[in-house]
Amino acid sequence: IQERFDAIVVGAGPSGNAAAYTMAKGGLKVLQIERGEYPGSKNVQGAILYADALERIIPDFREDAPLERHVIEQRIWVIDDSSHTGMHYRSEDFNEEKPNRYTIIRAQFDRWFSSKVREAGAIVLCETTVTELVKDTKGNVIGVRTDRQGGPLLADVVVLAEGVNGLVGQRAALRDELKPENVALAVKEMHFLPQEVIESRFNLKGDGGVVIEAMGTVTKGMTGTGFLYTNRESISIGIGCIVDDIRKSGMTPYNLLDSFKQHPSIAPLIAGSEVKEYVAHLIPEGGFRAMPETQGNGWLVVGDAAHLVNAVHREGSNLAMTSGRVAGETIVWLKRRREPCTAANLAEYRKRLEDSFVLKDMRKYRKIPALLHNNRHLLNLYPRIMSTAAQTWLRVDGKAKKAKETEIIQRLRTQRGLTGMLADGWRLARAWR
Ligand code: FAD
């Protein structure tokens, strides 16, 4: 007799681990399948971990999770070729007993999370790729096939937590192919430096950390951002741009990262470091309008595979963990009521997501991807305008302040024009609502 599971989870990233853990803790018989040599071996993230999402799954995670630094300072930089205009927020309040954000190294973090999934009672099968979904004659999903020998693996429900590419879902016609305008390609390097060098460069002590998000001319007119995060003994630095833009620009992601690293505001922060890792990965950044169907008969989809990334706030892993948890809770709830995992019953998952911050935030920013895509000057022209205005204002050169004000306003008028700026402001305000 073939073994049958209550649920099969495809993938052991944050979304799959959250779903598998929640269901195993809820007493279900769970099989999780991961193609990597171990969970995390194939995964890439900046990475900032948002504690709240994990705390709702494993409240005492701080006791043994591999955490690097808790974030005490956030820098947001608008960059032009030679300068940056920054907003920094640093607070002693972030040195709290249970910090809110941490930097992590994904390979270590995913492995730890997976050990919790095993402890909760799920079977975790690594080095195994799910090749396709198995359907019954009515088209309901009833299991998966893998690249291992043997027949199909059957379950009442399959949770697709396979990440951004979503190939298993695509092959089963549950979703469309990813569009190049809806996905960013990010490249990242790990730069190693002694702990004390990192602490003196960023004015840190203990486990406190700094994160920098950078936008502007560094993405060469493309929609995208750069980032730099401090770990204990390394710095994660990366940049990502929309694939469609990269394709049209003819630039390589490596060139982009190289020019980001050489920027005069960035170069001194990583000087003398030893580079140990270079990785590239896609990020689903098309927003709410690019989301596929989230559930159907015998299946549901979570995390990046469901296109759940809030690119404006640089959040992905928390949406992944929350959607995984909510999916798991919904399945446990249906099982306890002895209800089958039909599309109508699994719609409860969607309802719970709608009630959570996940779909509220995705809806709020639904117009932003198209706004940025259709108004390339926003990330190119305004950083230059801000930089020249700041320089005019700050240089003490014998010019009267009134004359400087007039010069700044005059330059704004010629570079964008009053109506252009009003139109940009109006579009941004409308998209932000
Ligand atoms: P993934 O983490 O991609 O996991 C999917 C898993 O499924 C993988 O382990 C993969 O090997 C496995 N898999 C795929 N196909 C199969 C198959 N057919 N069979 C078996 N296994 C399969 N988010 C943040 O919150 N903070 C950040 O700082 C941040 N920075 C980022 C920086 C970069 C450069 C990138 C690329 C992303 C970043 N993100 C960040 C986004 C975040 O990494 C993702 O949102 C998150 O990893 C999504 O989790 P997931 O479990 O849905 O997918």
Q: What is the pLDDT of residues 349-377, one digit of tens each?
A: 999 999 999 999 999 999 988 888 888 78
> Is residue 116 lining ligand 1, measured as CB closer than 6 Å?
no
CB-CB contact of 316 with 310 (8 Å) = yes
> Is residue 45 lining ligand 1, measured as CB closer than 6 Å?
yes
Predicted TM-score (pTM) of this structure:
0.95
Q: What is the pLDDT of residues 140-172, one digit of tens each?
A: 999 999 999 888 999 999 999 999 999 999 999
Q: Ligand 1 center to residue 238 CA distance, Å?
A: 16
b/e 51-67 (16+ beta carbons within 10 angstroms → b): bebbeebbeebbeebeb
Per-residue pLDDT, averaged over 278-297, amounts to 96
Closest atom of ligand 1 to CA, residue 304: 52
> Considering all CA atoms of the chain, what is the largest pairwise distance in Å, rounded to the nearest integer?
90
- For the CA atoms of 83, 374, 318, 294, the dihedral, rounded to the nearest 10 degrees, stands at -170
Phi and psi at residue 143, to the nearest 5°: 165, -165
The radius of gyration of the chain's CA atoms, rounded to the nearest angstrom, is 23
Give the confidence band of 383 by pLDDT, cuts at 50, 70, 90: confident
> Is residue 304 lining ligand 1, measured as CB closer than 6 Å?
yes
Q: Ligand 1 center to residue 240 CA distance, Å?
A: 15
Predicted local distance difference test score (pLDDT) of residue 277: 85
Q: Ligand 1 center to residue 134 CA distance, Å?
A: 24
> Is residue 273 lining ligand 1, measured as CB closer than 6 Å?
no
CB-CB contact of 47 with 102 (8 Å) = no
> Is residue 143 lining ligand 1, measured as CB closer than 6 Å?
no
Residues of the chain above pLDDT 70, percent: 99
Predicted local distance difference test score (pLDDT) of residue 378: 84
> Is residue 159 lining ligand 1, measured as CB closer than 6 Å?
no
Per-residue pLDDT, averaged over 393-398, amounts to 94
Q: Tell me the two tokens of residue 120.
A: 């909760």
Q: Ligand 1 center to residue 152 CA distance, Å?
A: 26
Predicted local distance difference test score (pLDDT) of residue 418: 85
**In terms of Cα–Cα distance, which of 179, 158, 185, 196 is closest to 295?**
158
Per-residue pLDDT, averaged over 219-224, amounts to 90
3-state secondary structure of 95: coil
Distances (CA, A) of 163 to 13, 44, 281: 8, 11, 10
Pocket test for ligand 1, best of 109, 133, 153, 304 (most atoms within 8 A of CB): 304
> Is residue 12 lining ligand 1, measured as CB closer than 6 Å?
yes
Predicted local distance difference test score (pLDDT) of residue 372: 84
Contacts of residue 368, defined as CB under 8 A and 6 or more positions apart, other chains included, come to 287, 311, 312, 431, 432
Predicted local distance difference test score (pLDDT) of residue 9: 98
Per-residue pLDDT, averaged over 197-209, amounts to 96
Closest atom of ligand 1 to CA, residue 318: 25
> Is residue 130 lining ligand 1, measured as CB closer than 6 Å?
yes
> Is residue 209 lining ligand 1, measured as CB closer than 6 Å?
no
Predicted local distance difference test score (pLDDT) of residue 3: 79
Burial class (CB in 10 A: 0-12, 13-18, 19+), 392: middle
> Is residue 317 lining ligand 1, measured as CB closer than 6 Å?
yes
- Quote the CA–CA distance of 69 and 107 in Å, as a whole number: 16
CB-CB contact of 179 with 199 (8 Å) = no
Q: Chain-wide mean pLDDT for the chain?
A: 94
- For residue 274, list its beta bridge partners: 192
Predicted local distance difference test score (pLDDT) of residue 150: 87
Q: Ligand 1 center to residue 15 CA distance, Å?
A: 8
Contacts of residue 324, defined as CB under 8 A and 6 or more positions apart, other chains included, come to 14, 15, 16, 17, 18, 19, 20, 22, 159, 161, 302, 303
Question: Does the N-terminal peptide bond of residue 47 adopt cis geometry, omega within 30 degrees of 0?
Answer: yes
> Is residue 286 lining ligand 1, measured as CB closer than 6 Å?
no
Residue type, 221: G
Q: What is the pLDDT of residues 304-331, one digit of tens each?
A: 999 999 999 999 999 999 999 999 999 9
> Is residue 324 lining ligand 1, measured as CB closer than 6 Å?
no
Q: For residue 424, is pLDDT > 80?
A: yes
Q: Which of 120-124, 304-308, 383-387 has the lowest mean pLDDT?
A: 383-387
Predicted local distance difference test score (pLDDT) of residue 4: 92
**In terms of Cα–Cα distance, which of 228, 230, 278 is closest to 103?**
230
CB-CB contact of 155 with 142 (8 Å) = yes
Contacts of residue 54, defined as CB under 8 A and 6 or more positions apart, other chains included, come to 61, 65, 321
CB-CB contact of 307 with 161 (8 Å) = no
Q: Ligand 1 center to residue 230 CA distance, Å?
A: 20
Handedness of CA 130, 322, 356, 309 (dihedral sign): negative
Name the residue with the closest Cα to ligand 1, atom 53. 163
Name the residue with the closest Cα to ligand 1, atom 23. 316
Q: What is the pLDDT of residues 263-273, one digit of tens each?
A: 999 999 999 99
CB-CB contact of 69 with 112 (8 Å) = no
Q: Tell me the two tokens of residue 172.
A: 């089963």
Pocket test for ligand 1, best of 162, 228, 308 (most atoms within 8 A of CB): 162
Which 8-state DSSP code applies to residue 266? Answer: T
Closest atom of ligand 1 to CA, residue 36: 11
Residues of the chain above pLDDT 90, percent: 83
- Quote the CA–CA distance of 178 and 322 in Å, as a whole number: 23
Closest atom of ligand 1 to CA, residue 168: 18
Pocket test for ligand 1, best of 9, 45, 227 (most atoms within 8 A of CB): 45
Straight-line distance from the first to the last Cα atom of the chain, in angstroms, rounded to the nearest whole number: 56
Identify the helix (H) or strand (E) that includes residue 84: strand 84-90
Predicted local distance difference test score (pLDDT) of residue 379: 81
Contacts of residue 405, defined as CB under 8 A and 6 or more positions apart, other chains included, come to none
Q: Ligand 1 center to residue 40 CA distance, Å?
A: 9
Q: For residue 262, is pLDDT > 60?
A: yes
Q: For residue 42, is pLDDT > 80?
A: no
b/e 179-195 (16+ beta carbons within 10 angstroms → b): eebbbbbbbbbbbbbee
